[in-house]
Amino acid sequence: MRIPPYYRLPTWQRFFAGVAVGAIISWFVFLHLFGVLQEEHVRTIAELNDQIADLKNDIRIWQEDYIKLNKINKKKLTVQEIHIRLINAEQYKLDSYTTFRIQESVKEDISHLIAKDIETVYKSKELLTKAIENKTYRINEQTYRLEIQELFLFTTLSIELRLKPVNS
């Protein structure tokens, strides 16, 4: 059995030539469209990379500013309120007025700390402790001293005090 010789007929030769020319033309069209699409993708990627670089630069600038502002704000933190609490007033059967007088006396002694930097107050906490603990109070013919139980320092200075009788 033999394959018929179609390649010798002019109609088949034109058909095969058309297929070959069509394949070549379609290949060039494909290359052109693929190239155009690739150029668009490359351009888009380049634009996005530029945007990413700009945004990273913006983030870096914002972070530097944020860190600077935090440092400045930390320096600006000041004591705004003072809270004094006497924790063992009931033990010595002190009335609320006497407790209030002791608390107000301590507040007066340390009222100069309001509007001071927290850092300055922290550095002088030993002096603050000695100023509070060295003062004596005479209540019902008994002499008492205060002892600092807890001292919390932030924008509110909170001090918990304990009364101790002075042995004369």
For the chain, the structural domain boundaries read 6-76, 81-165
pLDDT of residue 78: 86
**Digit-coded pLDDT (tens) for 42-96:** 999 999 999 999 999 999 999 999 999 888 877 778 888 999 999 998 888 888 9
**Digit-coded pLDDT (tens) for 3-49:** 667 667 788 788 888 999 999 999 999 999 999 999 999 999 999 99
Higher-pLDDT residue of 14 and 168 is 14
pLDDT of residue 168: 57
Going from the C-alpha of 21 to that of each of 12, 17, 28, 34, 165, the distances in angstroms are: 14, 6, 11, 20, 114
Distance CA 159, CA 105 (A): 13
